[in-house]
Structure 1
Amino acid sequence: MLDYTFPLTSEESAFAEKHHDVLLRYLHFHKLPVDEFYDIAVFGYLRAVRKYLARPELRQYKFSTIARRAMSCDVRHSKEYWNRAKRKGDVCSFDEERYFGDLRDTVTESLENVIDFERLARKITPAQRRIASLRADGYEDREIACICGIACADVEAEMEKARCRILMFRQENTAMAA
């Protein structure tokens, strides 16, 4: 597959300069304003240059045929994008007095959540945290067992112990809040 992210080689640049009139004729033939469509069509044109020189089987066709097809694709896609319905969102003013207090409350809640999370993290063992992290990453129990070097049954047992500790932590916090 051709990589179109690199600059053109000197051979490709020379070829592109030599056949630049293909691009201009394309825009003129299709009655496309140069100031609006040149930047769109030129990418298809340069892709066609790179493809035409890299793939010898394309030499059975005229370069202009390959270039017109590539430019037509880019122009068509741009027109489709421009004609596509755009998403709209309502913009409303921000009432600082109304939301300032709420913002402080949100920051306070976030801080409390972080503190609670840190306390909760101390309740479970490092092994349980690692198993939970691997599960969150999508690993299955047998894969976790292999990674941690434990039996598959131990993975579920560790997670059950962690669940019990988390439930006890929640009950303790609920009792303290009341």
Structure 2
Amino acid sequence: MKHINNNKTLSPEQREGVLRTLQVRFENNRNRHKDLEWKNVKAKLDSPAGGGKLWSLNEMERTGGKPDVVGYDKKTGEYIFYDCSPESPKGRRSVCYDRKGLESRTKHKPENNAVDMAASMGIELLTEERYRELQQLGDFDTKTSSWIKTPADIRELGGALFCDFRYGHVFVYHNGAESYFGARGFRGSLRV
């Protein structure tokens, strides 16, 4: 199974490192959050409620997701982070959709699955709607694809959904939940 930090705490050095990385990314990608200020995001991350979320953001970063702020929910007062890596995060590829899909494989089982990995990181898989929102901010998954949260009725029949971006369009596809590919991972979201 791929390494997941079960401690869920960061050393002061790790904390400062991830905050610095997030700030640089935030400042270099203003198009993703035009009306937001880093000082407000950092204040939220520094608050007692933000502690565990910073660990999750570090996990997103550690697995290649390049998380960034993509919005602010005025109703809840939460900042919304998505994985903004150009391609599906490298540290989360070659995984089945979920545990049931993984367990159904009799040969060549991958090390993990997207649903369990996301849960262990404290993040949620992007839905189709969120995936389409992400694509409004740039071109993502032009060479890879990403599992997305699959509706229960599709999953009950053995399927799972994934998306990519080709020919200027978002495409939504299906596969058996037990399938996995070197160029398919998953993207997550986190509310802070």
TM-score by length of 2: 0.22
- Of the two, which has the highest radius of gyration? 1
Larger strand fraction of residues: 2
Larger helix fraction of residues: 1
TM-score by length of 1: 0.23
* Structure of greater relative contact order (alpha carbons < 8 Å, 6+ residues apart): 2
